[in-house]
């Protein structure tokens, strides 16, 4: 069955006509993302040229995807909007809440039991509003989307930052917060600043140990965690066409790690092969008939520098495997340099655990290449030195990996198969001994490696590499092992060397028929009321936030001045806290507990200006709230990088944080804060960050005159009686200022209803 085929057919039916209008309007050769973006303008946007990086544009995406940890808040908000059904097809995927501990079977049982209330809630909301529901065990959102829903030229938003994974199938797929999903599900335009374009030309061909993962690991090193901010990254060139569809998806998936709005490849034969193999020949035929509209124009490919805002070229024939990390995905080390880098930085060389899989790297190609390394190890009589764990991305993949003997191979070298879920990628890993906080190293093929993310231990050094490199390193037990050049001692005491990995792009025996775990919406349940127990500690009906009272902010105590990297994992940690994703009051107890306090360099220990005592961030925020005070949060660069979780924005709003002032924001987090009604400001002079003192009371004034492009005045009242006035920038447009005034974007939607 092809999901929502009518929507896809209509899209392709209209595409040629739309592209010819776009050509006339823009009057220049088009890149593939311009074609897709402009063919998805919301009707009221009108046909005109928008300026990249400057103009806000309303779009009309084709579909919405949500995973269980973010869907709860998204759907709780959607329910407040009072609609009968979603305006575009949408799906919910149960993947984040499954804890990895004892292997797939036992862990699934526990998950279904412990998360019953949440799963029941999601499933009944899906039934009521005609949303596709993928049961726990079906797989990870991005893998399911690639296997079932993505189509070349389409546009999708998803409440997860790795939604861009679908760029592997030529889709503009963008990670957003739940409130954005609500816009699209209620039929409103979805607003985005028209992205700039980064063009990456791939020449040559991957060979030996290098894989698509190494392309994005290298790109992350080149562009850093914020280098893709506000940009669509387009890959093209002969090298791009030689990469499998799933390999392309890996690259697009990890575009989130450079802050890119999304990444994309033009439609090509590899995508067509994947569509056909996954039972979507009709989609492949339609895309093939529209090929010219789904690829960049020849003029663009001939003179890319003229059409892209940034242009990079990478020769795949010369690319080395990379290992990125620890603690940040952009610290890129070519494998040949790892011995030097590890020594220089004092990274613990013994690898405790190697983990492969996740939404990023569990294609048939990935699994078969990793399995070839494992088979080679058996042939060479090598014993695996590290623990080895595998998380298949979907039931579909697990099924064929089992059928074709790969899982058996992994088990034979000591591997353990976890459930088809996020698991250790998001701290859902009940790792034995992690609570002891011992210094140790793990290596995985996931996408993120921020502190504490894998197992909650701040002293776990997590490195990212391709599945085949992770497998080889897990077998060797050493971070510094280079399978391209180094030998290992086998059980006979002989020196042996791995052969190059070999895999298959697609399963020769097909994907097979499986029970996918999809639950078709049962519309007969449509009238039923969604019940949430009043005493539930996992779900809580949302109350609208108050409107802005029209007054300036005066005397707001500083809540925390965060030092250094402050990702959404620092702001609203996952792992243990995932269970409160549907309960705003409870999850607010994790607000900023991972952020480092500038004044004492400690996490979760800040001054309560009222009592003079030090306490946790959530307690101090609550104390201010209870005494009727708002507060201000200060941060540094790329604040809120990482996840799309809007809890990181709803929690401060709930805790009465009035403004977040930082050196710069990550895109999704800034939008999330704006949508929830928290004022987002950036220092117009970044050095002003240094002026903020621990005992400051802060005024933010002339808010009545807030206008696009106009700076905002911030007064720092120091405890010695002196005060300093600084200016801050904001990126609000007219419509967004209305969100602030209404108290949240959702309050506005409710008014318009
Ligand atoms: C992640 O990879 O950080 C997550 C968990 O998938 C998040 C979503 C979430 O926090 O629920 C993301 O990437 O958006
Ligand atoms: Fe799940 Fe990790 Fe993928 Fe996020 S990045 S969707 S946590 S597997």
The predicted-structure confidence for 353-386, as pLDDT tens digits, reads as follows 999 999 999 999 999 999 999 999 999 999 999 9
3-class DSSP assignment, residue 65: strand
- Mean pLDDT in residue range 232-248: 98
359 lines ligand 2 (CB under 6 A): yes
Map tokens 């060979």 to a residue. Answer: 207
What does pLDDT average to over the chain?
96
d(CA 500, CA 216): 21
**Residues, the chain, total?**
753
Instruction: Give the nearest ligand 2 atom to 67 CA.
Output: 6
* pLDDT tens track for 270-323: 999 999 999 999 999 999 999 999 999 999 999 999 999 999 999 999 999 999
Q: Relative to the CA of 358, which ligand 2 atom is closest?
A: 8
Ligand 2 atom with minimal separation from the 448 CA = 5
Task: Starting from the CA of residue 567, give the closest ligand.
Answer: 1
| H helical segments located in 335-394 | 338-345, 364-379
Ligand 1 close to Cβ of residue 69 (< 6 A): yes
Our answer on whether the CB atom of 201 is closer than 6 Å to any ligand 2 atom is no
* CA proximity to 345, closest of 374, 325, 363: 325
Q: Is 647 in the pocket of ligand 1 (CB under 6 A)?
A: no
At 751, the pLDDT band (50, 70, 90 cuts) reads: confident
Say yes or no: CB of residue 446 within 6 Å of ligand 2. yes
Mean predicted confidence (pLDDT) in 511-540: 85
| Residue 250 host element (H or E) | helix 245-253
Token pair listed for 386: 């590290």
Mutate to test the pocket of ligand 1, among 65, 66, 68, 70 (most ligand atoms within 8 A of CB): 70
Angle of CA points 111, 112, 114, to nearest 5°: 60
Averaged pLDDT, 52-60: 96
pLDDT of the residue at 685? 98
3-class secondary structure per residue, 529-598 = CCCCCCCCCCECCCCCCCCCCCCCEEEEEEEEEEECCCEHHHHECCHHHHHHCECHHHHHHHECCCCEEC
* Tens-place pLDDT, residues 608-660: 999 999 999 999 999 999 999 999 999 999 999 999 999 999 999 999 999 99
- Could you write out the three-class secondary structure of 425-494? HHCCECCCCHHHCCCEEEEECCCCCCCCCCCCCCCEEEEECCHHHHHHHHHHCECCCCCCCCCEECCCCC
pLDDT recorded at residue 45: 79
**Which pLDDT belongs to residue 121?**
96
283 lines ligand 1 (CB under 6 A): no
Per-residue exposure over 309-324, b if at least 16 CB sit within 10 Å of its own CB, e if not: eeebebebeebbbbbb
Residues marked as catalytic: 95-96, 160, 448, 643, 645
Q: Is the CB of 140 under 6 A from ligand 2?
A: yes
Give buried/exposed letters for 622-656 (b at 16+ CB in 10 A, else e): bbbbeeebbbbbbbbbbbbbbbbbbbbbbbbbbbb
- Looking at the predicted structure, is the pLDDT value of residue 88 above 90? yes
Q: Which ligand is nearest to the CA of 158?
A: 1
C-alpha 100 chain-centroid distance? 20
pLDDT value of residue 526: 58
pLDDT digits (tens, 9 = 90+) for 674-714: 999 999 999 999 999 999 999 999 999 999 999 999 999 99
Query: Is the CB–ligand 1 distance for residue 645 below 6 Å?
Result: yes
* 81/662: higher pLDDT: 662
Report pLDDT digits (tens) over 219-235. Answer: 999 999 999 999 999 99
Q: Which ligand is nearest to the CA of 144?
A: 2
Task: State in Å: Cα 396 to ligand 2 middle.
Answer: 17
Atom of ligand 1 nearest to the CA of 578: 11
Determine the pLDDT at residue 753. 63
Residues 567-582 pLDDT 10s: 999 999 999 999 999 9
258 and 379 Cβ atoms separated by less than 8 Å: no
752 or 374: which leads in pLDDT: 374
Ligand 1 centre from 69 Cα, in Å?
8
Q: Can you give the pLDDT at residue 515?
A: 87
> Is 80 exceeded by the pLDDT of residue 530?
yes
Output the pLDDT for position 522: 82
For a pLDDT cut of 70, what percent of the chain falls above it?
99
What local confidence, expressed as pLDDT, does residue 71 receive?
A: 97
Using alpha carbons, select from 477, 507, 511, 482 the residue that is nearest to residue 497.
482
pLDDT at site 692? 98
Cis check: omega of the bond before 751, within 30 degrees of 0: no
């Amino acid at each position: 069955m092809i999901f929502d085929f009518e929507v896809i057919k209509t899209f392709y039916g209209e595409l040629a006509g739309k592209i010819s209008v776009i050509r006339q309007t823009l009057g220049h050769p088009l890149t593939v993302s311009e074609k897709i973006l402009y063919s998805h303008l919301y009707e009221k946007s009108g046909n005109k040229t928008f300026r990249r990086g400057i103009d806000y544009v309303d779009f009309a995406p084709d579909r919405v995807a949500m995973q269980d940890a973010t869907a709860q808040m998204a759907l709780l908000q959607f329910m407040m909007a009072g609609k009968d059904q979603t305006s575009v097809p949408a799906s919910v995927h149960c993947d984040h809440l499954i804890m990895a501990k004892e292997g797939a079977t036992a862990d699934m049982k526990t998950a279904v039991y412990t998360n019953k209330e949440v799963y029941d809630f999601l499933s009944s909301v899906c039934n009521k509003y005609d949303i596709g529901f993928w049961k726990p065990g079906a797989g990870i959102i991005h893998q399911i989307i690639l296997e079932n829903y993505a189509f070349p030229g389409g546009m999708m938003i998803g409440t997860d930052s790795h939604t861009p994974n679908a760029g592997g199938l030529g889709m503009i797929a963008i990670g957003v917060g739940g409130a954005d999903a609500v816009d699209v599900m209620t039929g409103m335009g979805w607003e985005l600043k028209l992205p700039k374009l980064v063009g990456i030309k791939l020449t040559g061909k991957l060979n030996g140990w290098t894989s698509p993962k190494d392309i994005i690991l290298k790109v992350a090193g080149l562009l850093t965690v914020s280098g893709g901010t506000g940009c669509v990254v387009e890959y093209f060139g002969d090298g791009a066409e030689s990469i499998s569809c799933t390999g392309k998806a890996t690259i697009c998936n990890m575009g989130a790690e450079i802050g890119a709005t999304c990444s994309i490849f033009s439609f090509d034969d590899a995508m067509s092969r994947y569509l056909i193999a996954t039972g979507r020949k009709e989609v492949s035929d339609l895309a093939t008939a529209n090929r010219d509209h789904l690829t960049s124009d020849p003029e663009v490919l001939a003179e890319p520098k003229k059409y892209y805002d940034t242009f990079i070229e990478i020769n795949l024939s010369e690319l080395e495997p990379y290992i990125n990390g620890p603690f940040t995905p952009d610290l890129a080390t070519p494998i040949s340099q790892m011995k030097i880098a590890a020594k220089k930085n004092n990274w613990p060389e013994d690898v405790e655990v190697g983990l492969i899989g996740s939404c990023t790297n569990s294609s048939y190609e990935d699994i078969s290449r990793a399995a070839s390394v494992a088979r080679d190890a058996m042939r060479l009589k090598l014993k695996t030195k590290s623990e080895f764990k595998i998380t298949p991305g979907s039931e579909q993949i697990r099924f064929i990996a089992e059928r074709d003997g790969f899982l058996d191979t992994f088990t034979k070298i000591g591997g353990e198969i976890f459930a088809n879920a996020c698991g250790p990628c998001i701290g859902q890993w009940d790792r034995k001994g992690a609570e002891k906080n011992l210094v140790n190293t793990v290596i995985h093929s996931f996408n993120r490696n921020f502190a504490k993310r894998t197992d909650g231990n701040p002293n776990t050094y997590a490195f990212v590499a391709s599945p085949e490199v992770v497998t080889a390193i897990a077998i060797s037990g050493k971070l510094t092992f280079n399978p391209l050049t180094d030998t290992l001692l086998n059980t006979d005491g002989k020196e042996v060397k791995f052969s190059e990995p070999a895999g298959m792009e697609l399963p020769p025996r097909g994907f097979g028929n499986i029970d996918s775990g999809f639950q078709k919406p049962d519309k007969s349940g449509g009238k039923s009321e969604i019940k949430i127990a009043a005493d539930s500690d996992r779900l809580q009906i949302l109350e609208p936030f108050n409107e802005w009272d029209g007054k300036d902010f005066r005397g707001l105590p500083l809540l925390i001045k965060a030092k250094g990297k402050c990702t959404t994992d620092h702001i609203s940690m996952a792992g243990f806290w995932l269970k409160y994703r549907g309960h705003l009051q409870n999850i607010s107890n994790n607000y900023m507990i991972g952020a480092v306090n500038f004044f004492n360099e400690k996490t979760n220990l800040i001054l309560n200006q009222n009592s003079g005592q030090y306490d946790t961030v959530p307690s101090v925020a609550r104390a201010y709230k209870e005494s009727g005070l708002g507060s201000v949060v200060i941060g540094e660069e790329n604040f809120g990088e990482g996840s799309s979780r809007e809890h990181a924005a709803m929690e401060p709003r709930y805790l009465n944080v009035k403004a977040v002032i930082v050196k710069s924001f990550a895109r999704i987090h800034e939008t999330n804060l704006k949508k929830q009604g928290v004022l987002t400001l950036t220092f117009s002079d970044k050095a002003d960050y240094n002026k903020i003192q621990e005992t400051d009371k802060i005024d933010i004034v002339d808010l009545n005159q807030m206008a696009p492009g106009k700076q905002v005045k911030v007064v720092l009242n120091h405890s010695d009686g002196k005060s300093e006035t600084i200016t801050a920038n904001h990126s609000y447009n007219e419509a967004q200022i209305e969100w602030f005034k209404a108290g949240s974007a959702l309050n506005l939607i409710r008014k318009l209803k």
